[in-house]
């Protein structure tokens, strides 16, 4: 994979690519996320046309607390890439990638539902798995396993 060109273009917004067990992870600032995703999708040698998965991670008590993780796959080349964005606890907002990959719609709704991470410019950001009147976001680490209503 040729990630050097991206590094030249995005500069310090892009972190050093990390490799673990043969998988490459790229970290990016949240302001450059959508531009990066468009590049990853459209650049011929990369061609990440398939967003396999999108999810949140809560690293409490570490800071920054949240991560949004994108798993990309290229149908043409058969390679994979993981993109991560770190988000602080006080302002867990990030741009939606539904304009880049349509499939992100339900994934982002799920991430909002379970983590309370908000996606800017999402066409229909509301809960998906839990009832609309549910309080809290259960995959946050401070949400008790037994639920909120237990003593």
Closest distance to other proteins from the beta carbon of 106 (Å)? 5
How far is the C-alpha of 126 from the C-alpha of 93, rounded, in Å?
A: 14
Q: Which of 51, 83, 86, 87 touches other proteins by CB under 8 A? A: 51
Task: Retrieve residue 62's tokens.
Answer: 């570490």
Cα 39 to the chain's mean position, in Å? 16
Contacts of other proteins in 97-136 (CB under 8 A): 101-103, 105-107, 114, 127-131
Task: Single out the residue of 84, 80, 82, 10 nearest to residue 46, CA to CA.
Answer: 80
Site map (CB under 8 A) of other proteins, residues 71-100, x = contact: x---x--x-x-x------------------
Supply φ then ψ for residue 141, to 5 degrees. Answer: -65, -25
151 three-class SS: coil
- Residues interacting with other proteins, by CB under 8 A? 20-21, 23, 25, 49-53, 55, 57-59, 69, 71, 75, 78, 80, 82, 101-103, 105-107, 114, 127-131, 138-139, 143, 145
């Amino acid at each position: 994979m040729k990630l050097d060109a991206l590094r030249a273009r995005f500069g310090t917004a892009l972190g050093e690519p990390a490799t673990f067990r043969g998988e490459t992870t790229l970290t990016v600032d949240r302001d450059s996320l959508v531009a990066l995703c468009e590049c990853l999708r459209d650049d011929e040698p990369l061609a990440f046309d398939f967003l396999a998965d999108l999810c949140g991670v809560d690293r409490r008590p570490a800071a920054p607390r949240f991560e949004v993780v994108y798993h990309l796959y290229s149908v043409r080349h058969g390679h994979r890439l993981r993109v991560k964005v770190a988000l602080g606890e006080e302002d867990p907002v990030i741009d939606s990638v539904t304009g880049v990959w349509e499939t992100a719609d339900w994934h982002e709704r799920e991430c909002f539902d379970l983590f309370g991470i908000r996606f800017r410019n999402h066409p229909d950001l509301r809960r998906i798995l839990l009832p609309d009147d549910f309080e809290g976001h259960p995959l946050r680490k401070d949400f008790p396993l037994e639920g909120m209503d237990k003593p």
